[in-house]
Amino acid sequence: MKYIFVTGGVVSSLGKGLAAASIGTLLEHRGLKVLLQKFDPYLNVDPGTMSPYQHGEVYVLDDGAETDLDLGHYERFTHANLSQLNSLSSGQVFESVIKNEREGKYLGATVQFIPHVTDEIKNRLKRTTENNPDTDVIITEIGGTVGDIEGHLFLEALRQFALDVGSENVCFIHVTLLPMVKAAGEIKTKPTQQSVAKLREIGIQPDIIICRTEHDLDDDNRRKIAMFCNVKRENVVAFRDVKDTIYECPIDLRRDKVDRLVVDSLGLKSDTPDLSKWQSFVDRLVNPTHKTTIAVVGKYIELNDAYKSIYESLTIAGAAHDTAVEVIKIDAEDIEKHGAKAIIGEVSGILVPGGFGERGIEGKILAAQYARENKIPYFGICLGMQIATIEFARNVCGIEKANSTEFKKKTSHPVISLQEEQLGVKDLGGSMRLGSCESILYPGTKSYELYGGVDTIHERHRHRWEFNPAYREQLEAAGLTIASVSKAEGLVEIIEIADHPFFVAAQFHPEFKSKPNSPHPIFSGFVKASLEHS
Ligand code: GLN
């Protein structure tokens, strides 16, 4: 097994995650089997409880792990199927050290940062290795910036790990920023030198330095960085700001042959990558023939990262239909104040994403009504499915008080409720339905057709509330189609409206399963319907 560790220096938000993901893409195109993971030094056990304002979207894996959005990049840029093991935070590390200490597992020893905490980190790497015996390379991104107090233990653990497994099996890649000082008209390499010095202080000598830069990196600067940072000149790689799309990143990094440097440094045999399919995907993204406009009606719309996978899935689906997808971000609360027509206006599709809590709910319901009545393609995801159900119950079935018990605990018509409430259980567990689940698709529905006529699907979940089966018959009689139910419990997974160009809403999160050249079928169908509508 070979290991790549990606650290960052100088500033945060350097695109370390994209650099790691892109290296994954390139190695995969060389025929290697890769696995990507993230070590995050923060103290939260996972980002599941963090506000999207703090952390962007929570990316959910098949096994239900709630992870950093960088894992979304990893899964979209490669075919790696990630698990709980691939997302480690300081919170998890300390939780397990303290648990071991309480259980007396350290046999009376004084429990210390080194070796107990660092061993815990190394053990995780060993477990990942053991669980993925057919993997060629594990790429681990370390969150944060070199020099952060909280990242120090992770770096120390990696230094030791490299000694344990042999330095010939480990490649350290350090991503830094080369700022341009406008007044001097020069790119500055000093911050990179200092950040590498910081890394070497810990005992880590990077093998490759990836320099984020707005400009080209000339020979002089390459030589300077190489000399001061103690690496070969060709191992200084430029990572330019990509012009149009993040999917250009692997192509940009390939210009300095970063993948060859990596395989050479690790002594791996592999083929020259054929990036033609990836390139043609990028070409379609950059020069689309058509354009369609889709409104995303949400709560965290001012924050790009909050609905990251949804935006990426729309872009990916757009490429499949040779169309640019212009996303109009709409705050649901604005619809409550001014009405759907005034705020949403003329668009070719309306998407209501997932969410928690009461704020903006009535605005989202108005958006679903606007889409249904005006025959505008509608795509509801998780909460977007629940509010579409409420809207249909209220305005088509005439159940005026229809609501979810999430928003109105004592509602007389809980069309969306907790499973415990549906079963009459007193003790509300309040635990979320998380991760992949198998569901049945009903033939004759739009979804059945979109998925290409398969009978069962596997999709990822992250929610507590459910469609209340007590209302199923009444809603179906009024024209709502149930297109899918979970295999185990019969929980409603997809609703549709047949008498509509495209009205599909899913209880699960299809945005976690789109990849370049392989858009999720519902996203693909939605973008196609929007294009036809426009
Ligand atoms: N708040 C809703 C629930 O928990 C929807 C969750 C979501 O959209 N992810 O069921």
Report pLDDT for 35.
98
Answer yes or no: 509 catalytic: yes
- How far, in Å, CA of 400 to CA of 390, rounded? 9
Report pLDDT for 305.
87
| Within a domain: 108 | no
Answer yes or no: 511 catalytic: yes
Q: Which of 120, 466, 511, 520 is catalytic?
A: 511
d(CA 385, ligand 1 centre) in Å: 9
Same domain, 182 and 77: yes
| Within a domain: 119 | no
| Within a domain: 337 | yes
Yes or no: say if 211 and 176 are a contact pair by the CB < 8 Å rule: yes
Q: Length of the chain, please?
A: 534
What residue owns the CA closest to ligand 1's atom 5?
A: 383
Answer yes or no: 382 catalytic: yes
d(CA 386, ligand 1 centre) in Å: 8
Per-residue pLDDT of the chain (534 residues; tens, 9 = 90+): 999 999 999 888 888 999 999 999 999 999 999 999 999 999 988 877 777 777 789 999 999 999 989 999 999 999 998 999 999 999 999 999 999 999 999 999 999 999 999 999 999 999 999 999 999 999 999 999 999 999 999 999 999 999 999 999 999 999 999 999 999 889 999 999 999 999 999 999 999 999 999 888 999 999 999 999 999 999 999 999 888 899 999 999 999 999 999 999 999 999 899 999 999 999 999 999 999 999 999 988 888 888 999 999 999 999 999 999 999 999 999 999 999 999 999 999 999 999 999 999 999 999 999 999 999 999 999 999 999 999 999 999 999 999 999 999 999 999 999 987 676 665 555 578 999 999 999 999 999 999 999 999 999 999 999 999 999 999 999 999 999 999 999 999 999 999 999 999 999 999 999 999 999 999 999 999 999 998
Amino acid at 509: H
d(CA 528, ligand 1 centre) in Å: 26
Yes or no: say if 520 and 511 are a contact pair by the CB < 8 Å rule: yes
- How far, in Å, CA of 115 to CA of 117, rounded? 6
Same domain, 324 and 265: no
Same domain, 274 and 294: no
d(CA 259, ligand 1 centre) in Å: 41
| Within a domain: 485 | yes
Element (H, E) at 521: helix 521-533
| Within a domain: 99 | no
Specify which residues 484 forms β-bridges with.
Answer: 441, 494
Yes or no: say if 380 and 511 are a contact pair by the CB < 8 Å rule: no
- How far, in Å, CA of 39 to CA of 89, rounded? 6
Same domain, 153 and 297: no
Atom of ligand 1 nearest to the CA of 382: 8
Atom of ligand 1 nearest to the CA of 354: 8
Residue 10 lies in domain: 2-90+135-280
Residue ranges around ligand 1 (CB below 6 Å): 354-356, 382-383, 406, 462-465
Same domain, 276 and 293: no
Burial class (CB in 10 A: 0-12, 13-18, 19+), 488: exposed
CATH number of the domain residue 73 falls in: 3.40.50.300
Looking at 220, 253, 280, the residue that finishes a domain is: 280
Among 124, 195, 122, which Cα is nearest to 158's?
A: 122
Q: Which of 382, 413, 459, 461 is catalytic?
A: 382
Amino acid at 252: D
Strands 87-89 and 186-187, bridge-based pairing = unpaired
Yes or no: say if 494 and 525 are a contact pair by the CB < 8 Å rule: no
Element (H, E) at 69: none
Report the number of distinct structural domains present in the chain: 2
Looking at 255, 280, 305, the residue that finishes a domain is: 280
What residue owns the CA closest to ligand 1's atom 7?
A: 354
What residue owns the CA closest to ligand 1's atom 8?
A: 354
Same domain, 330 and 202: no
Looking at 263, 280, 297, the residue that finishes a domain is: 280
Same domain, 250 and 333: no
What residue owns the CA closest to ligand 1's atom 1?
A: 356
Report pLDDT for 289.
95
What residue owns the CA closest to ligand 1's atom 6?
A: 463
Same domain, 199 and 309: no
Same domain, 274 and 314: no
CATH number of the domain residue 308 falls in: 3.40.50.880
Tokens of 347: 């668009």
Same domain, 274 and 362: no
| Within a domain: 484 | yes
Same domain, 385 and 441: yes
Atom of ligand 1 nearest to the CA of 355: 8
Q: Which of 73, 321, 500, 509 is catalytic?
A: 509
| Within a domain: 459 | yes
Same domain, 344 and 322: yes
Phi, psi of 84 (to 5 degrees): -40, -40
Provide the phi-psi class of 414: left if phi over 0, else alpha when psi is between -120 and 50, else beta. beta
d(CA 405, ligand 1 centre) in Å: 12
| 3-state helix/strand/coil string of 5-40 | EEEECCCCCCCHHHHHHHHHHHHHHCCCCEEEEEEE
d(CA 36, ligand 1 centre) in Å: 28
Amino acid at 271: D
| Within a domain: 120 | no
Report pLDDT for 425.
61
